[in-house]
Structure 1
Amino acid sequence: MTGLFIFLGIFVVLIAWGIHIRNNIVRYFNATKRAWAEVANFERQKVKTLEALEITLNQYTQFEKSTLEQVTALRQQILSLNVDHTDIAQLQQIEKMSKELIRSLNVVVENYPELKADTLYGKMMDDIQEQNENVGAAISIFNRNVEVFNNQIEVFPNNIINTMTLSKKTIRPFRDNLVTDNFDYKPNF
């Protein structure tokens, strides 16, 4: 009889331990989804500033059309970012477009001193810079959550519990290919 109680005790502990592992996997997956939603939210906040920037740039009739088209294209790309589905490739494209737009705006401002003197334009550029910093911070948080989640589903025995109950796949972290291409050092992993 004592052997049965010991067996049942061990069985209950193993079941509780398995449930705990499963719940942690779900918890970290949800944290990763939330972090992705925050990245998308910060990107979407740029849209308001980009719309105001478009209006301001339209006031300068001699302003280069290509830069205005870049603003419009970036705004449309951000609006199409799916909050519910992690799309790293689309986020990489948005970040690339943001950097190209900032570069173009900085060049164009040199050609149009009256635009540089426009206080509304200056405020919008500051807003865009701040929003880019917020996106960068949100991406860092997202990548940390991805790392924790991926570790959760890959280590033993969590991988067994995941395979048996949830079948969650690893999530790809965000990588800025433009930046990493410029590094001489490449880790061997």
Structure 2
Amino acid sequence: MNKSLWIVIAVVALLVVFGISSYNGLVGMNENVNGKWSQIENMLQRRADLIPNLVSTVKGYAAHEQQAIAAVADARAKLAGAAGPAAKAQANGELNTALSRLLVVVENYPNLKADKNFRALMDELSGTENRIAVARKDYNDAVQGYNTKIRSFPTTIFAGMMGFGPKEYFRAEEGAKQVPQVKF
């Protein structure tokens, strides 16, 4: 065989090895993003599971505050039915707003704030909120790494052909940067 044929075979072999390596790397990064997203969903579900207990505790003290209690239940249902990072982020924002209103109601009931069950539920909810924040950060970091990889040369050439597209970030809802005003 002549020398140029060996060079062509070597170049093709290198491209095949690079393609396989790129594909496997992208599969791993894609699965990492999916795993991080599952962690967010896990924490959102944990919070959603705590909310009925919190609502039941508040109902016992504030039976006439049905509007705030109903808003929390509705927002929780929307979160459960949301699909994808954008929809989950929006539903999460609505639930945060409803919970804030419920906590304003709680401020009017000092005996409720002193209740052992209520305090335990609030501690659990607070811990879950922290876990959600960490999970969102981890997810967004994984999305950033993945999106950077699929947009970097030469991987971008193979990524499109292999069906790897950009992932969505979990973004804060509109108005999240504004401090809520609580008035009594």
Q: Same fold (TM over 0.5)?
A: yes
Corresponding residue for residue 170 of structure 1: 166
* CA distance 1:180–1:64, shift in 2 (3 Å): closer
* CA distance 1:3–1:181, shift in 2 (3 Å): farther
What is the TM-score with the length of structure 1 in the denominator? 0.84
Corresponding residue for residue 16 of structure 1: 17
What SS is found at the alignment partner of 1:178?
coil
Corresponding residue for residue 27 of structure 1: 28
Counterpart of 2:135, as a letter, is A
Overall identity of the aligned pairs, in %: 24
- Equivalent residues of 2:68, 2:101 under 8 A apart: yes
Corresponding residue for residue 56 of structure 1: 57
More displaced 10-residue stretch of structure 1: 173-182 or 120-129:
173-182
> Which of 72, 75, 90 does residue 87 from structure 2 map onto?
90
Deviations 1:51-82, CA, capped at 9 Å, x for gaps: 21122122225441122112212321232244
Corresponding residue for residue 48 of structure 2: 47
Q: Is there any run of 5+ residues in structure 1 with no aligned partner, and where?
A: 183-189
Aligned residues: 177
Q: CA deviation at 1:175?
A: 1.8
Q: CA deviation at 1:135?
A: 0.8
Q: CA deviation at 1:4?
A: 2.3
Corresponding residue for residue 161 of structure 1: 158
More displaced 10-residue stretch of structure 1: 71-80 or 147-156:
71-80
Q: CA deviation at 1:174?
A: 1.7
Corresponding residue for residue 75 of structure 1: 76
What SS is found at the alignment partner of 1:51?
helix
Aligned-pair Cα RMSD in Å: 2.0
What is the TM-score with the length of structure 2 in the denominator? 0.86
Q: Is there any run of 5+ residues in structure 2 with no aligned partner, and where?
A: 180-184
